[in-house]
Homo-oligomer: A and B are copies of this chain.
Amino acid sequence: MKHVTLDDVAKEAGVSRATVSRVVNDYPHVSDHVRQQVQNCIDKLGYNPHLIARSLASKKTGNIGLVFPNSIHNFFTDPYYPRLTEGIAHACNENDYTLSLFIFHTEELEKKLIPRLTRGGLVDGIIVQATGIDDNILFKIKNGEVPFLVAGRPLNLPEANYIDVDNVSGAYNAVAHLIRVGRKKIGMISGPRNTSAGLDRLKGYRQALRERNYPIEDGLIVEGDFTELSGYHAANQLLKNQEVDAIFSASDTMAAGALRAVKDHSLSVPEDIALVGFDDLPPSRTAVPSLTTIRQPIRRFGVKAVDVLIDIIDNGSPPPRQVILGTELVIRESCGSI
């Protein structure tokens, strides 16, 4: 079965290629009569435009690249990334874009793929997941010809286009809630301090304590890396060395680890330890006890990211687009007050 081309349709309808193209793309300057007739031929022949050819001629690929840098090694461990990916994929498809996924597992792959991605005419725009401050992937992408948007505030490229949630106020609200329900000594399992999410959530924690005149003690803050295991270890450390009656974890995944640690210490949540997470991933709702947490609109995040990127693609960048989405405190059982 031969591929039906624009030419075939034109011949069949007895018009020129240009006219068929106009009909296919829903452009003006075609009489209703001709348009109808061409449309009939399109349906009859089962014509589908050849997207590659279209790309070449129009200089638009209709592709968006989603990049997870080499330093994101827990792509599938943390439900956050898949969920984000899903949201972005959905939004792309809704907007007639195709999503190309690039997971850079190794340094070499990164080296090989970046030039292709940023120069090959492969994609119209790139969404790249923010990483640690020491990762210079953004600089490499910046040197390319393709507009890009960072998912998460990029610490080392503050002038970039990015989209993020309000981590500071989210964390602030989490801690403020713990204070509100009467907790006196609130520990924190923070994220990595070389990431903006880690830093900003820590900032919100400090801000809430300071405002209520709670002492801010270094010993109350233990750094994790957003994995369950790191949450477990961090909570253990907190429980061994400090008399905390509440823990704010910078992610739900780490909170799950913390919960496990609390149980290992024969303590219970929320009676002995109130626990608040961050993310509101699905497992948190069904956990026992269910987890109070800060909801990120991950799905909406993806949709918005695509919206903004498409806007940049269509209209150019400056001024830098920097979008911050709000969060929401979701109160469940783990903090002892409904």
Interface set of A (CB-CB < 8 Å, partner B): 1, 3, 48-53, 55-56, 61, 63, 66, 75-77, 79, 81-83, 85-86, 89-90, 93-94, 98-103, 105, 109, 112-113, 115-116, 119-122, 145, 228-229, 232, 260, 264, 282-283, 286, 288
Do B76 and A86 touch across chains, with their CB atoms under 8 A apart? yes
**What are the 4 closest A-B residue pairs judged by CB atoms, nearest first?**
A76-B82, A82-B82, A48-B119, A76-B83
Give chain B nearest CB distance to A42 CB in angstroms. 12
Pairwise interchain contact A86-B77, C-beta atoms closer than 8 A: no
Q: A103 with B82: in contact, given A56-B53, A120-B48 (CB under 8 Å)? A: no
Asked if B116 and A48 make an inter-chain contact with CB atoms under 8 angstroms apart, the answer reads yes
Cβ of A93 and Cβ of B76 under 8 Å apart? no
Please determine whether B3 and A145 come into contact, CB atoms closer than 8 angstroms: yes
Count identical subunits in the complex.
Answer: 2
Q: Contact check, B109 vs A102: say whether CB atoms are below 8 A apart.
A: no
Whether B99 lies near A101 (C-beta < 8 A) is yes
Closest Cβ–Cβ distance, residue A154 to chain B (whole Å): 23
Task: Name the residue in A98, A122, A229, A232 with the highest tally of chain B Cβ atoms < 10 Å from its Cβ.
Answer: A98
With a cutoff of 8 Å between Cβ atoms, the chain B residues found around residue A283 in the complex are 228
A45 to chain B, nearest CB (A): 12
Q: Are A51 and B116 in contact (CB under 8 A)?
A: yes
Query: Bound complex: CA of A81 vs CA of B228, how far in Å?
Result: 19
For A229, what are the chain B residues with a Cβ–Cβ distance below 8 Å? 286
Q: Is the CB of B52 within 8 A of A56?
A: yes
CB A142 to nearest CB in B, in angstroms, measures 13
Chain B positions within 8 Å of A51 at CB level: 116, 120-122
A77 touches B120 (CB 8 A): no
Residue of B nearest to A288 (CB): B260
Taking CB atoms, residues of chain B closer than 8 Å to A66 are: 101
List of B residues within 8 angstroms of A61 by Cβ: 52
**A77→B77 CA distance, assembly (Å):** 11
